[in-house]
């Protein structure tokens, strides 16, 4: 009996420790990884096929294997997005020495690009004005701020503090970053100010400088380059709806665990445009909630207007054409925007590597954030995604929900009957005793 118990305990251990017996064959989707040469740590942007195949909202079923089937160390990292260099023209801010320290002052931009300091409608001593700061117009800049690089002339061998602030009314300012420029024996040619991430579209940037006890020479700024980073774009996946409409509307659930951030529709008929509204709910017993309205254009037109989904708990969706007399003659196609994800992995072990995803009841196998450090900048590997990969969504005409409820009632009735039989057996045994 003891050997049998030992074998049973071993089986329990294998089941209880996720990933102990992981093999690529255990997962629904397996893709070949094409690593970059000579990089010990590499990154991998997960395509829509991987995100849509995961059965875990946090990609707990994602694995990377080497040629021998051993797991490769990996961690989730923040997606880089797209960096953009924005060259900005410095506009000099002119005023008296202490003008910017006066309460209630504002800036006025002249037609010639000069900027003066105002207190109400009064120009603060324009005759004796001096260069106090520079103003940068970022109203057409998009993305979040990363850093500001200044082409500046600074007093040699003197620490100078540069402060960058943002405002939308040229009166109230919030600080984005600050740095000290100092080069012993020389004058710094460039000054880089790290900035906290902030959206500055529609705003102005003001750069001021100071020194203790005072500046030994004037500061001049000849140019400025603002680095911004656009958030990574959604991973887009298209899906076909299989089935028939319910009450003239298409009702379906998404077989995707990765959070869906947006959804758009395309018509299957050429030259047909259908206005529609999108509804959703988290459970069948809940009322439908309007998520937004849009227009479905023909597939292949290149124009897909997606509706942002601000909730991640929605399980069912319903598409209804607006009352214009034009409806969906055939099942529309979906375009889903999935939250992007990037992983870093240690390119160790023999190639080829395999990425596997799609297994229920998996525990995450990621290292803690920052565990993998690249010696240089990010190096990206790629995935060989088959061209015939498709996602299909089943239309729910309401009968599936009815079947689920019936099965639930049957299970409850069977459980109640089982409890009754057990209670009767216990009562009978106690009566016989």
Residue 427's alpha-carbon distances to 416, 417, 421, 424, 432, in angstroms, are 16, 15, 10, 5, 9
Checking if the pLDDT of 7 tops 50, the result is no
Distance in angstroms (rounded) separating the CA atoms of residues 361 and 18: 8
* Terminal-residue alpha carbon distance, the chain: 31
Work out the average pLDDT over 423-428.
Answer: 76
What is the fold, at CATH topology level, of the domain defined by 84-230?
Jelly Rolls (2.60.120)
* Cβ neighbours around 56 below 10 Å, total: 18
Checking if the pLDDT of 317 tops 90, the result is yes
pTM of the predicted protein model: 0.60
For residue 73, which of 341, 346, 342, 343 has the smallest C-alpha distance?
A: 346
Distance in angstroms (rounded) separating the CA atoms of residues 266 and 304: 7
Q: Using one digit for the tens of pLDDT, what is the confidence trace for 223-260?
A: 999 999 887 788 888 888 887 787 778 899 988 888 89
Q: Which two tokens stand for residue 149?
A: 């690089």
Q: What class is the 235-338 domain?
A: mainly beta
Checking if the pLDDT of 291 tops 90, the result is yes
Is 371 in contact with 300 (CB distance < 8 Å)?
no
Domain residue spans in the chain? 18-80+341-389, 84-230, 235-338, 398-427
Q: Using one digit for the tens of pLDDT, what is the confidence trace for 128-184?
A: 567 888 999 998 888 889 999 999 989 988 999 999 999 988 888 899 999 999 888
Checking if the pLDDT of 407 tops 80, the result is no
Work out the average pLDDT over 302-322.
Answer: 87
Percent with pLDDT over 90 in the chain: 33
């Amino acid at each position: 009996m003891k050997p049998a118990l030992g074998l049973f305990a071993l089986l329990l251990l294998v089941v209880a420790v996720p990933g102990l017996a992981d093999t690529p064959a255990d997962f629904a989707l397996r893709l070949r990884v094409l690593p970059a040469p000579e990089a010990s740590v590499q990154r991998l942007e997960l395509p829509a096929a991987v995100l849509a195949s995961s059965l875990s909202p946090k990609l707990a079923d994602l694995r990377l294997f080497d040629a021998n089937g051993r797991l490769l160390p990996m961690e989730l990292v923040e997606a880089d997005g797209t960096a953009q260099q924005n060259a900005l023209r410095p506009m000099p801010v002119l005023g008296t020495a202490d003008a910017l320290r006066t309460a209630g002052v504002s800036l006025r931009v002249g037609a010639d690009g000069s900027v003066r300091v105002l207190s109400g409608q009064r120009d603060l001593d324009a005759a004796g004005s001096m260069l106090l700061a520079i103003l940068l117009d970022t109203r057409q800049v998009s993305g979040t701020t990363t850093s500001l690089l200044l082409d500046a002339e600074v007093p040699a061998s003197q620490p100078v503090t540069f402060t960058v602030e943002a405002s939308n009314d040229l009166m109230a300012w919030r600080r984005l970053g600050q740095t000290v420029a100092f080069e012993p024996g020389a004058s710094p040619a460039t000054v880089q100010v790290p900035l906290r991430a902030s959206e500055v579209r529609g705003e102005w940037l003001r750069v001021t400088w100071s020194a203790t006890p005072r500046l030994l020479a004037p500061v001049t700024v000849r140019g400025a380059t603002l680095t911004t980073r656009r958030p990574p774009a959604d991973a887009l996946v298209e899906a076909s709806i299989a089935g028939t409409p319910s009450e003239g509307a298409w009702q379906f659930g998404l077989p995707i665990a990765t959070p869906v951030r947006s959804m758009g529709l395309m018509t299957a008929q050429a030259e047909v445009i259908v206005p529609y509204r999108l509804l959703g709910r988290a459970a069948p017993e809940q009322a439908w909630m309007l998520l937004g309205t849009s227009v479905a254009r023909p597939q292949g037109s290149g124009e897909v207007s997606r509706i942002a989904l601000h909730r991640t708990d929605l399980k069912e969706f319903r598409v209804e054409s607006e009352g214009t007399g034009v409806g969906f003659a055939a099942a529309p196609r979906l375009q889903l925007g999935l939250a992007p994800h990037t992983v870093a992995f240690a390119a160790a072990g023999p190639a080829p590597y395999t990425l596997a995803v799609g297994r229920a009841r998996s525990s995450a196998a990621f290292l803690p954030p920052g565990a993998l450090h690249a010696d240089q900048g990010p190096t990206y590997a790629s995935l060989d995604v088959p061209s015939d990969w498709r996602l299909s969504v089943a239309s729910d005409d309401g009968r599936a929900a009815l079947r689920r409820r019936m099965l639930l009632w049957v299970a409850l009735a069977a459980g109640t009957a089982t409890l009754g039989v057990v209670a009767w057996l216990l009562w009978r045994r106690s009566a016989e005793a």
